[in-house]
Amino acid sequence: MSNPIKQKLKSILILLLVILLSSVAGGSFAIHKIRTNTKEKNFMIQNGCWSVNPKMDLTDRYQRALISMIGLFALRESEVLYFIASQDSDGQPLSSEYNYILEGTAPDTRYWSYTLYGEDYFLVKNEANKFGFNLNNIQYLPDSSNLPELPKNTRKNHQISISSEPKGDNWLPCGNEQQFYINLRMYNPSPSVYQHLESVYLPKIKRVEQ
Task: For 126-140, give the DSSP string.
Answer: -TT---EEETTTS-B
Predicted pLDDT of residue 73: 46
User: Which of the residue ranges 50-54, 92-96, 149-153 has the most confident prediction, judged by mean pLDDT?
Assistant: 92-96
Superfamily of domain 46-208: Domain of unknown function DUF1214, C-terminal domain (2.60.120.600)
pLDDT at 182 over 90: yes
Judge whether 116 and 129 are in contact, CB under 8 Å: no
Tell me the Ramachandran region of residue 100: left when phi exceeds 0, alpha when psi lies from -120 to 50, beta otherwise. beta
pLDDT at 19 over 50: no
How does residue 183 score in pLDDT terms, banded at 50, 70 and 90?
very high
pTM of the predicted structure, to 2 decimals: 0.73
Can you tell me the distance from the alpha carbon of 195 to that of 79, in angstroms, rounded to the nearest whole number?
Answer: 15
Cβ-based neighbours of 161, under 8 Å, separated by 6 or more:
99, 100, 101, 167, 168, 170, 171, 172
